[in-house]
């Protein structure tokens, strides 16, 4: 059993490092140049029409939003910021206006019509669960009581719109590849195994993937003790090399198991975190940022785009990273739990969540984009 503590630099790592340095060093014009990168990534389909780039634009205040309220019964307590006592609600009223085109307002009946007799599954971590709850709340209001239900199967849950024979599903797989218990109860992340998670994805008509945040957990926050690839066990590895290996395993599974004539595959880029200063960067923020003083492309996005470009299967990229980076006002912060009147007088006594999103809120716009892509 081989071990090592410091992988030797190789071409892939140098390539990633170069791109990270290149993008971080750009001026504010990055917001425009990044937009010119492929939004629908495909390596061998130049015949596909060029579509509007939804990823670059600006947030516009719109009094007609939100499209549902925080009393939606399918919301987790941690994202119902209004019910938990958040005093402002302006964060619910921003819509996204892409440059050069418009993003259609979410139409629940139209979406359900497109998904009639189909399954759509969102695969990923708790932020993908955040998006799943948003999507369910966007559609459930047009479905009569008794004509909808939620079912559970292992790491998956599904909202069923019975009259449409449609299911909107969520599959918990934050790393996509498998995380297992090994000898001495040690947690082992298998970079080349995926079937245990992927068996739940078979037969789905629309698959939306996300995997980013867990790959950068470190030290006491790490979800594993060792990496494993083949029969080799590693204590440490550059996290972006590990991420690339995991995504490559996912890509191989997609190529071998999915038929592009039957299944649409989408990969959503990472949701930005505003959690510097121990989570207080998003506290008491009430409006979107107007610009970035130092634009930044997360390493995970660079790696993801590289993997997708090498795929033969046409995976569509849903780029939400830049648009969401403006929205540090949209996180639960201390309102991830219900605070009584006395507790609201001392908010800094409570932990602040600057990773997930209040609902209604930013993930509703992701789902407007998703609906437009479909």
Catalytic residue of the set 89, 126, 205, 217: 126
Catalytic residue of the set 210, 319, 353, 364: 353
User: Is residue 225 among the annotated active site residues?
Assistant: no
Distance of CA 13 to the CA centre of its chain: 24
Give the whole-angstrom CA distance, residue 82 versus residue 332.
9
Burial of 261 (C-beta count, 10 Å sphere; 0-12/13-18/19+): exposed
Q: Rg of the Cα trace of the chain? A: 21
Catalytic residue of the set 70, 167, 356, 371: 356
Whether the predicted pLDDT of 292 surpasses 90: no
Whether the predicted pLDDT of 357 surpasses 80: yes
Tokens representing 110 are 């139209």
Q: Could you report the per-residue pLDDT of 195-238, keeping only the tens digit for each? A: 999 999 999 999 999 999 898 876 667 788 899 999 999 999 99
Specify the residue for token string 């190789």: 10
pLDDT given at position 278: 56
Cβ–Cβ < 8 Å for 77, 339: no
pLDDT category of residue 298 using cuts at 50, 70 and 90: confident
pLDDT given at position 279: 58
pLDDT given at position 277: 56
Over range 347-372, report the average pLDDT: 91
pLDDT given at position 243: 96
Q: Could you report the per-residue pLDDT of 233-256, keeping only the tens digit for each? A: 999 999 999 999 999 999 999 999
Give the whole-angstrom CA distance, residue 294 versus residue 72.
37
Cβ–Cβ < 8 Å for 340, 108: no
pTM of the model: 0.84
User: Is residue 353 among the annotated active site residues?
Assistant: yes
User: Is residue 217 among the annotated active site residues?
Assistant: no
Over range 147-160, report the average pLDDT: 96
């Amino acid at each position: 059993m081989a071990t090592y503590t410091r992988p030797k630099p190789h071409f892939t790592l140098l390539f990633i490092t170069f791109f990270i340095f290149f993008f971080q060093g750009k001026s504010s014009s990055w917001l425009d140049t990044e937009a010119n990168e492929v939004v629908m990534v495909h390596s061998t389909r130049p015949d596909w029409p060029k579509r509007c780039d939804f990823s670059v634009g600006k947030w516009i205040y719109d009094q007609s939003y939100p499209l549902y309220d925080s009393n939606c019964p399918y919301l987790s307590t941690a994202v119902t910021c209004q019910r938990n006592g958040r005093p402002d609600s302006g964060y619910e009223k921003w819509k996204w206006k892409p440059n050069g085109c418009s993003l259609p307002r979410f139409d629940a009946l139209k979406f359900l019509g497109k998904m009639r007799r189909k399954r759509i599954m969102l695969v990923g971590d708790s932020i993908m669960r955040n998006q799943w709850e948003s999507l369910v709340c966007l559609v459930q209001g047009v479905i009569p009581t008794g004509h909808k239900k939620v079912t559970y199967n292992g790491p998956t849950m599904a909202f069923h719109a019975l009259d449409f024979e449609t299911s909107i599903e969520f599959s918990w797989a934050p790393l996509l590849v498998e995380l297992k218990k090994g000898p001495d109860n040690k947690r082992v992340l298998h970079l080349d195994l995926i079937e245990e998670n992927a068996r739940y994805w078979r037969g789905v008509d629309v698959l939306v993937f996300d995997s980013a945040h867990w790959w950068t957990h470190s030290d006491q926050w790490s979800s594993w003790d060792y990496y494993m690839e083949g029969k080799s066990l590693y204590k440490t590895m550059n996290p972006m090399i590990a991420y690339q290996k995991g995504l490559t395993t996912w890509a191989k599974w997609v190529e071998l198991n999915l038929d592009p004539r039957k299944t649409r595959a989408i990969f959503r880029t990472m949701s930005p975190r505003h959690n510097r200063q121990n989570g207080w960067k998003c506290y008491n923020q009430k409006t979107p940022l107007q610009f970035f003083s130092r634009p930044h492309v997360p390493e995970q996005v660079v790696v993801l785009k590289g993997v997708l470009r090498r795929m033969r299967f046409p995976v569509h990229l849903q780029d939400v990273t830049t648009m969401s980076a403006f929205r540090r006002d949209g996180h639960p912060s201390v309102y991830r739990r219900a605070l009584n009147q006395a507790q609201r007088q001392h908010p800094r006594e409570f932990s602040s969540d600057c990773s997930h999103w209040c609902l209604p809120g930013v993930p509703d716009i992701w789902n407007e984009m998703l609906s437009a892509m479909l």
